[in-house]
Amino acid sequence: MAVLEFSVVPIGAGESVSQFVAKAVDVVDKSGLDYRLHSMGTVVEGEVGQLLEVMQQAIDAVMTDCDRVSVSAKLDVRKGHAAALDAKVASVEQKLGREVKH
């Protein structure tokens, strides 16, 4: 399993880009993969091929209304581990002995 954090930002679309972000998040949501949206991007869990395909589809969705996008991505691939989205946070909380905002 793997975890992908990515963001797709249109270039030249003005200051507010939430309408474009919504298109990308819609693609992720419809993929059926487990994900978390945060203020600076989206984190998705799945097999590497699935994650790269979802990211490509999100890019394509945003580019239907603009000619250029900037994409940032981080990929964490780890054998034998699933449900990492919640487990990573839980591990940090356990070490701190308290819950954190997420």
The alpha carbon of residue 80 and the mean position of all alpha carbons in its chain are separated, in whole angstroms, by 21
Supply the CATH classification number for the domain 2-96: 3.30.70.930
pTM of the model: 0.87
* Residue 100, number of CB atoms within 10 A of its CB: 8
Confidence (pLDDT) at 32: 97
For 54-94, write each residue's pLDDT tens digit: 999 999 999 999 999 999 999 999 888 776 788 888 888 99
The residue type at 63: M
Token pair of 55 as six digits: 């990211």
For 1-29, write each residue's pLDDT tens digit: 999 999 999 998 888 899 999 999 999 99
CA distance 69 to 10: 4
45, 36 in Cβ contact below 8 A?
Answer: no
